[in-house]
């Protein structure tokens, strides 16, 4: 064989392979002439850290001394014969974009699923380890050991869900559980309740004392809807259920305990109600965090009752699962659902401290620790970090279409009124928002809520300019309308 002939053969083979690659069905795409078959698969992967890991979510970060229940990444893959969507919900306070992006890159290489078709989010349990950096304005590549572990397990989970793909039916619906959601931001008429770490008085107070005589009224609405998607095999075996509820978290977890909070108890309870225990492949229940940045489980009109550890978690999870099961029995399952996805970069402005705030921060940090509280020192450090941060940073804004359901994804702790607006103005019959998706950048108050002050609006807790929320909502509505028109 001459060198020239060998080179020509190599060129011919390369061209033939390229042609065959174009003719072969891509992931999620039926071969020409085949009738598309809707398929679904789900899987769970464990992301529990070792004991001794720091537990974040409160003012202190104690080391973990006990694993009450494991943390998981719960994956659902849907395939309509034309496109595949992968949704991953992780038991974590928040996860940096860099972690999710690393998982996306590897999954795209291994599975061919495009990045815009993968939605990844955290549940916001306050009883787990840190999977983000405290001030993650600038991009970075060096992941911590735990962050890399989470990447590996997300990738494993999605691949296992793909392995479990089978012909399926899908249905959707929504119920309401209003008793377990309460606005945690209140107007009060006692100035002693509204003093901020920066030394000024806010108009509202987060988590005021229950039953206090100074309470006037809540500062915002609640969203009691529980929207959900359910998939089952063609013979009726439950495969997975993805629900969405706008409740921050529940808590009542002893110090040092690792727990997935009520999100995991919901998954276990809905599995029990559906009679889906001990299936092969295992049923996967998933509860995502909706727009709960200003919502919690406490009725502040009354003194807070004392509960045993984990008691309130089980109460809330049972109520939510029971309502989902009630509606589940009425939904119509179908053998097809159009899938679609949009994702774009959106540049946001970082909030910057004024000169008075910078002067205050330097004065606080110059004092002995005994002369100022840890909360003041924390926000003084945050103010200086904001001053040194880049002026802008980019986030991912994403929307999915699953049949008649629109899913918005926001990388912030989002207020209920934002979610209610997306539901009211979205073009599809059912719309819900998954918060802390594709990153976690703190709170996202509306411009009107910024004017009221309170913990969720403090510089350092809220990192982006007050006009960021309207820009995000506008981008999501545009994406949802595009998907509805397809």
The pLDDT > 90 percentage for the chain reads 87
Give yes or no for residue 291 having a pLDDT over 90: yes
pLDDT confidence of residue 132: 85
* pLDDT bucket at 25, cuts 50 / 70 / 90: very low
Beta bridge partners of 464: 350
Q: Check residue 183 and give its pLDDT.
A: 98
Could you count the other beta carbons within 10 Å of the beta carbon of residue 429? 12
pLDDT score, position 10? 41
Q: Is the pLDDT of residue 2 over 70?
A: no
Alpha helices in 275-403 (DSSP H): 311-328, 355-366, 374-388
Per-residue pLDDT band at 323 (split at 50, 70, 90): very high
Query: Would you place residue 26 in the very low, low, confident or very high pLDDT band (cuts 50, 70, 90)?
Result: very low
Structure confidence at residue 30 as a pLDDT band (50, 70, 90): low
Sign of CA dihedral 424, 425, 429, 430: negative
Q: Give the model's pLDDT for residue 18.
A: 34
Instruction: Report the candidate in 236, 303, 208, 226 with the shortest Cα–Cα distance to residue 262.
Output: 226
User: So what's the pLDDT on residue 402?
Assistant: 98
pLDDT per position as a tens digit, 153-205? 999 999 999 999 999 999 999 999 999 999 999 999 999 999 999 999 999 99
Sign of the CA dihedral 300, 325, 127, 365?
A: negative
For the chain, give every domain's residue range: 39-183+217-347+390-485, 351-388
The mean of the pLDDT values for the chain is: 92
Other C-beta atoms lying within 10 Å of the C-beta of residue 160: 17
- Is pLDDT of 435 > 80? yes
Q: Is the pLDDT of residue 33 over 70?
A: no
DSSP string, 112-170: ---GGGEEEEE---SSB--BS-TT--S------HHHHHHHHHHHHHHHHHHHT-EEEEE
Q: Which two tokens stand for residue 447?
A: 């411009």
Reply yes or no on whether the pLDDT at 1 is more than 70. no
Task: Indicate the Cα dihedral angle 193, 196, 201, 203, nearest 10°.
Answer: -70
What is the C-alpha to C-alpha distance for residues 330 and 327, in angstroms, rounded to an integer?
A: 5
Which one, of 169, 77, 70, 173, lies nearest residue 128 by Cα?
70
Q: What is residue 205's predicted lDDT score, i.e. its pLDDT?
A: 97
State the Cα angle at 256 between 253 and 258, rounded to 5°.
Answer: 65
Give the model's pLDDT for residue 27: 56
Residue 24 has pLDDT above 70, yes or no: no
Minimum mean pLDDT range among 54-58, 216-220, 296-300, 456-460: 54-58
**Per-residue pLDDT at 57:** 78
Six token digits for residue 296:
């919690």
- Which residues have C-beta within 8 Å of that of residue 410, sequence separation ≥ 6? 291, 397, 418, 433, 434, 435, 436, 437, 444, 472, 476
By DSSP bridging, strand 185-188 and strand 443-444 are unpaired
Q: Residue 372 CB: number of other CB atoms within 10 A?
A: 16
pLDDT exceeds 80 at position 28: no
Is residue 16 scored above 50 in pLDDT? no
At residue 13, does pLDDT exceed 50? no
What does the pLDDT read at residue 352?
96
Structure confidence at residue 134 (pLDDT)? 64
Residues 234-252 have a mean pLDDT of: 97
Q: What is the pLDDT of residues 36-92, one digit of tens each?
A: 899 999 999 999 999 999 998 787 889 999 999 999 999 999 999 999 999 999 999
């Amino acid at each position: 064989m001459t060198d020239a002939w060998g080179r020509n053969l190599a060129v011919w083979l390369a061209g033939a392979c390229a042609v065959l690659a174009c003719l072969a069905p891509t992931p999620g795409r039926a071969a020409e002439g085949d009738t598309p078959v809707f398929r679904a698969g789900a899987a769970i992967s464990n992301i529990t850290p070792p004991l001794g890991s720091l537990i974040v979510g409160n003012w202190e970060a104690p080391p973990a001394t006990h694993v009450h229940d494991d943390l998981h990444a719960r994956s659902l893959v849907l395939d309509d014969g034309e496109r595949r969507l992968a949704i991953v919900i992780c038991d974590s306070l928040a996860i940096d974009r860099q972690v999710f992006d690393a998982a996306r890159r590897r999954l795209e290489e291994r599975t061919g699923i495009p990045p815009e078709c993968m939605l990844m989010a955290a549940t916001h349990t306050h009883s787990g380890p840190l999977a983000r950096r405290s001030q993650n304005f600038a991009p970075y590549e060096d992941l911590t050991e735990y962050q890399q572990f989470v990447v590996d397990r997300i990738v494993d989970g999605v691949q296992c869900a793909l392995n479990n793909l089978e012909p399926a039916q899908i249905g959707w619906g929504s119920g309401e559980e209003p008793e377990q959601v309460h606005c945690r931001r209140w107007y009060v008429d006692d100035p002693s309740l509204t003093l901020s770490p920066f030394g000024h008085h806010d108009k509202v107070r987060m988590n005021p004392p229950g039953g206090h005589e100074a309470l006037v009224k809540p500062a915002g609405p609640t969203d009691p809807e529980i929207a959900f998607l359910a998939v089952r095999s063609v013979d009726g075996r439950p495969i997975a259920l993805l629900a969405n509820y706008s409740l921050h978290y529940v808590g009542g977890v002893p110090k040092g305990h690792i727990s997935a909070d009520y999100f995991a108890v919901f998954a276990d309870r809905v599995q029990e109600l559906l009679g889906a225990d001990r299936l092969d492949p295992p049923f996967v229940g998933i509860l995502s965090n909706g727009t709960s940045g200003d919502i919690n489980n406490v009725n502040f009109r009354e003194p807070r009752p004392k509960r045993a550890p984990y008691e309130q978690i089980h109460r809330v999870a049972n109520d939510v699962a029971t309502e989902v099961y009630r509606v589940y029995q009425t939904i119509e399952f179908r053998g097809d659902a159009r899938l679609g996805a949009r994702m774009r970069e959106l540049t946001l402005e970082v909030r910057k401290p004024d000169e008075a705030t910078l002067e205050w921060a330097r004065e606080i940090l110059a004092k002995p620790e005994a002369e100022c509280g840890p909360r003041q020192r924390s926000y003084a450090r945050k103010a200086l970090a904001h001053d040194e941060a880049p002026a802008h940073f980019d986030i991912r804004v994403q929307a999915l279409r699953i049949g008649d359901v629109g899913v918005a994804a926001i990388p912030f702790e989002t207020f209920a009124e934002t979610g209610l607006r997306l539901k009211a103005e979205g073009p599809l019959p059912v719309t819900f928002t998954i918060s802390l998706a594709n990153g976690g950048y703190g709170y996202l108050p509306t411009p009107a809520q910024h004017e009221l002050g309170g913990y969720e609006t403090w510089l350092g807790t809220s990192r982006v300019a007050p006009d960021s929320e309207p820009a995000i909502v506008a981008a999501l509505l545009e994406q949802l309308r595009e998907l509805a028109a397809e």
